[in-house]
Amino acid sequence: MKATTFRIAALLVPVTLMQVFLMPNLSILHVSPDALAVLVGFTAISAGRNTSMLTGFIGGMLMGILTGQMGLLMLAGTIGGFMAALFQIPEECHATQSLKTRRFFLASTLCSFTSSTIMTAGLNPLALSPAYRIAVLGGIGAILTLLLAIAARFLFMKKSFAD
Amino acid sequence: MKKFFGFFFRNNSWLLLIALSAISLGFIKMEQENVVQRLNNAGTGFRAAIASKIASYSYLIGLKNENDRLLETNIALIGRILSTENAIRNEADRTRILSQKAESLKSFTLARVVDRQFSSRENMLLIDGGRSRGIRTDMTVMTPRGLVGRVVAVSEHYAKVMPLIHIDFRASVVSSESGTMGVLAWKGGREDMATVDHVPISSSLKTGEEMLTTNFSTFAVPGLPVGRVVSIKQGALFSTVTIQLAVDFASLNHVVVVSLNRDPEKLRLLEGKIESGTGR
C-alpha cells in the first residue's frame, strides 16, 4: 500500500507535465486524452478513495499552476477521484487481472468524464452549448482517455495488474 | 463519544471530499474575485511601498549632503548676482558720468601750472588759461584729488589762482559722515595741512572723516574733497580741527578750471543789494 502510494506520488509530476505538454498534440475536436485521469483511476482501484481524491486534488493543483484555473482543476480532480473510487477493489478482495483491468478502464473513463464535465461546466472558451460540451466533448474525452488507459495498461502496467 | 469519532472514521472519504471540494471552491472563488491577483497586486504594492520607504529614507540620509551642496551653489550664485549687479551699477554710473561729462565738458578747462610763488609776501599759482579759454575770476580750480583754489585774476592767456594754502583763503566745508560744517583756513606752516574753524565742540566729528566743499560756497563746486581730519582739539566753544589736504601742492602740474553756475539773486542777497520787504 505504501509502495503504491509513493509510486503514485512519484508519477504525479511527470504525468501532469505530460498532460500539459504532450496530450494537446493528441487532441481531437479540441479534446485531448486525460493522462491524469488514468493515474487517478489506477490510484482509485489500487489505493482507495482518499488517495485517489488527493491525487486528483494535487494533480489539479499542479495543472492549475501551469495552466491557470487552479480551483476548477482541483475540484475536477477531487470529484473525479471520488467518482473513480466507485470502482475501488477492496484489499481483502482477491480480484482477477481482468477485473482489475476492467475496473481500471472504467475508473479512468469515469474520472475523465466527470472531470471533463466539471471543466466544461465551469469553462466555455469556445462558446459551445452546455449539452454539447458535456455530451460530445465529455464523451470524446472519455473515449480518448479510455484509449490512453488501454495503452498504458498493456504497455506499462503488466506487473501492476498481476493476479 | 465513540459514536462521534466512529462517524468520522466511517465517513472519512466523504469528509475528505467535502474538505477538498471546499478548498477547490475557495480557490475558484478567489480566482473569480481576482483575489489571487489582488493578493499579488497587494504584495507588489507592499513591496513597492517598502522599497519606496527605503528609498525615501536613503534620500533623507543623503539630503544633508544635498543641502550642503545646494547651499554652496546658492552662495556661488549670490556672489555672481552681486558681482553682476555691481557691474551693471558701475556701467550705469559710468554711462551717466560719461553722459554728464559730455554735457559739462564745456565747463571744464584743463590748464597747466606755469608758475608757483610760495613766499612770505605772496602765495599764488599761475596757469596757462585766460579769458581766451573762457576762464573768469572766482572760478574753481581743482584736480581729480580735490580742491586747489580759486581764480582771482585773469588775463588774456593766463590766470592767477589763490590756493588753499593762502592766508586769506576761506571755504565752507562739511564732513562726509557726521555732517559737521566749518570754515577752511590756512594759517601758515606746513603746506599739506590746514585748519577748519567754527566747529562746535558738541559736534560728532571724528578723526579720519573726509571734508568736502558745501553748496554754501560762492565759488566752489559742492562735494569736492578738501582733506581728511587728522586731529581735533577742544576749545571753550569751538574745536580746532586740523586736516590733511587732499591735494599735494608740491607736485601740482595740471589743474582743471570749473565754470561756476552762480545764482545772481543769491549773490545780490549776500551783497545786500536786494531790498527788504519790511524796509520800505
3-state secondary structure labels for all residues of A53-94: HHHHHHHHHHHHHHHCCHHHHHHHHHHHHHHHHHHCCCCCCC
Please tell me if residue B27 touches chain A, with a CB cutoff of 8 Å. Answer: yes
Instruction: From chain B, pick out residues whose CB is under 8 angstroms from the CB of A69.
Output: 31
Model pTM?
0.45
pLDDT of residue B102: 41
Name which of A60, A74, A82 is nearest B17 (Cβ-Cβ). Answer: A82
Mean pLDDT to the nearest integer, B169-185: 88
Q: Which of B17, B34, B37, B40 is the best substitution to test chain A (most A C-beta atoms within 10 A)?
A: B17
* B16: chain A residues, CB-CB within 8 Å: 49-50, 53-54
- pLDDT, tens digit, 9 for 90 and up, residues B64-109: 777 777 767 776 776 677 678 767 866 775 665 555 544 444 577 8
Question: DSSP readout, A15-36?
Answer: HHHHHHHTGGGG-BTTB---HH
Are β-strands B210-213 and B225-234 bridged in parallel, bridged antiparallel, or unpaired? antiparallel
Condensed to tens digits (0 to 9), the pLDDT of residues A84-122 reads: 999 888 777 777 888 888 899 999 999 999 998 888 777
pLDDT reading at B245 higher than 50: yes
Give the three cell numbers for residue B190: 606746513
Q: Which has the closest alpha carbon to B198: B221, B228, B175?
A: B175
B40 touches chain A (CB under 8 A): no
3 state SS of A43: helix
User: Which domains does chain A possess?
Assistant: 2-156 (1.10.1760.20)
Query: What are the residues whose beta carbons fall under 8 Å from the beta carbon of B178, sequence distance 6 or more?
Result: B203, B204, B205, B206, B209
B13 in contact with A, Cβ within 8 Å:
yes
On whether any CB of chain A is under 8 Å from the CB of B20, the answer is: yes
Give A-chain residues touching B26 at CB under 8 angstroms: 71
Closest CA to B160 of B173, B176, B149: B149
Q: What is the pLDDT along chain A (163 residues), one digit of tens a residue?
A: 567 778 888 889 999 888 888 888 888 877 889 999 999 999 998 888 889 999 999 999 988 888 777 888 999 999 999 999 998 887 777 778 888 888 999 999 999 999 988 887 777 766 677 788 788 888 888 999 999 999 998 888 777 776 6
Q: Which residues of A touch B23 (CB under 8 A)?
A: 57, 74
What is the grid cell recorded at A40?
A: 487517478
Which residues in A have their CB inside 8 Å of a CB on B? 49-50, 53-54, 57, 60, 64, 69-72, 74-75, 78-79, 82, 85, 122
Pick A57's closest partner by Cβ from B12, B20, B30.
Answer: B20
Q: What is the largest CA-CA distance in chain A?
A: 48
In angstroms, the separation between the Cα of residue A155 and the nearest Cα of chain B is 31
Residues from chain A contacting residue B25 (CB–CB below 8 Å): 71, 75
Cβ–Cβ below 8 Å for A70 and B29: no
pLDDT at B41: 57
**Hey, which residues does B243 pair with through a beta bridge?**
B194, B229
Nearest CA in chain A to B11: A50
Give the three-class secondary structure for A42: helix
Q: Do B16 and A72 touch (CB under 8 A)?
A: no
CATH 2.40.10.340: which residues of chain B? 106-262
Considering only CB atoms, which chain A residues are within 8 Å of B27? 64, 70-71, 74
Range B106-262: architecture per CATH: Beta Barrel (2.40)
